[in-house]
Amino acid sequence: MRFLFPSDYFNPKKVDEAYSAQFDCLRNIGFETSVISLEALALGSSKIYPYPDAGSKLVYRGWMITADDYSLLVNVVRDSGAEVLISREEYLATHYLPNWYPLIRELTPETLFFSVDDNLEDELIRTGWSSFFIKDYVKSLKTSIGSIIDNPSAIRTVVDEMQKFRGFIEGGLCVRRVEDFISDTERRYFVLNGKPFAPSENEEIPQIVEDCAKRINSKFFSVDVVEHRDGCKRVVEIGDGQVSDLVGWTSERFASLWADYYQ
């Protein structure tokens, strides 16, 4: 098993500083590590350093990349004689909201999907909802007016701002019904080979995470859970584990869950 990290922008043989702690922790418990230039990936000239052993499995661990760039990454890995642990299909199964939503529909806020060319204001009015959370298939708007609106007429502004700050809308638009969540209760869990893990070693795994572990078809993904005012727990996000931040996790804890399976 080898972990593949983004390289430093100025030094393609050095790990990006943002991932240096994870890089070191995984190496310290015996895993092989390599880096790849994501900038060169889009140009078709990216190389893996150090070169992986033929037949080895690679886990990408880094920044979110588009579906097309993930395909390029898979091809670079295969050209080296190695294989990715997470296929492109598995990556998109958890990276794109429309792919995982039908599998856990009753565990997460109601969501509708649209094209940017749809009559969005009319579609939002038709729902009868009081508030809306807007994102594309992957991300929401973290700047400007934000991602939550109460007035359907604001939807076009959100879309324009998403395109301005992100450069494009990935996949399409997702409109999620806003529920009454308790602030600062969101918790991230990882699922590896069907087994869920919590940020703390002896922490109890919520049943809702166990349910996701059984339904989602990926070897490695994240589950974000929040508490509702009525006392239940709700899933607010599923993500590919390779590109999910260590929110609430230490690098040491993250490395340890891999050691349980692959050493």
**How is residue 157 written in tokens?**
């502004």
In one-letter notation, the amino acid at residue 62 is G
Q: Exposure pattern of 213-238 as b/e (b: 16+ CB <10 Å)?
A: beebebebbbbbbbbeeeeebbbbbb
Q: What is the pLDDT of residues 209-252, one digit of tens each?
A: 999 999 999 999 999 999 999 999 999 999 999 999 999 999 99
Q: What is the pLDDT of residues 23-40, one digit of tens each?
A: 999 999 999 999 999 999
Q: Exposure pattern of 148-185 as b/e (b: 16+ CB <10 Å)?
A: ebeebebbeebbebbeeeeeebbbbbbbbebbebeeee
pTM of the model as a whole: 0.95
* CATH value of 110-177 in 3.30.1490.20, 3.30.70.260, 3.40.50.2300, 3.40.50.1000: 3.30.1490.20
Helices (H), the chain: 20-28, 38-41, 67-79, 88-95, 97-100, 120-127, 155-166, 207-215, 251-262
Do 255 and 29 meet the contact criterion of CB atoms below 8 Å apart?
yes
What single DSSP character describes residue 171? S
- Output the CA angle 196-199-203, nearest 5 degrees: 75
Do 73 and 48 meet the contact criterion of CB atoms below 8 Å apart?
no
CA distances for 218 relative to 89, 175, 238, angstroms: 9, 24, 11
CA distances for 164 relative to 141, 160, 174, 183, angstroms: 10, 6, 18, 28
Give 3-state DSSP helix, strand, coil % of the chain, rounded to 5.
Answer: 35, 25, 40
Do the two domains 94-102+182-262 and 110-177 of this chain adopt the same fold?
A: no
Coil, strand or helix at 114:
strand
Q: Provide mean pLDDT across the span 192-215.
A: 96
Give the pLDDT score at 167.
Answer: 86
Q: Where are the domains of the chain?
A: 2-85, 94-102+182-262, 110-177
Q: Provide mean pLDDT across the span 58-67.
A: 97
pLDDT band at 50 (very low <50, low <70, confident <90, very high): very high
Give the pLDDT score at 144.
Answer: 75
Q: What is the pLDDT of residues 135-188, one digit of tens each?
A: 999 999 887 778 999 999 999 999 999 999 888 999 999 999 999 999 999 999
Q: What is the pLDDT of residues 71-106, one digit of tens each?
A: 999 999 999 999 999 999 999 999 999 999 999 999
**Class level of CATH domain 94-102+182-262:** alpha beta
List the 233-240 sheet strands across, edge first: 195-197, 187-192, 220-227, 233-240
What single DSSP character describes residue 57? E
Q: How far is CA 196 from the centre of its chain?
A: 16
Whether residue 263 has pLDDT greater than 70: no
Residues 6+ apart with CB under 8 A from 134: 140, 141, 147, 148, 149, 155, 158, 159, 162, 173, 174, 175, 176
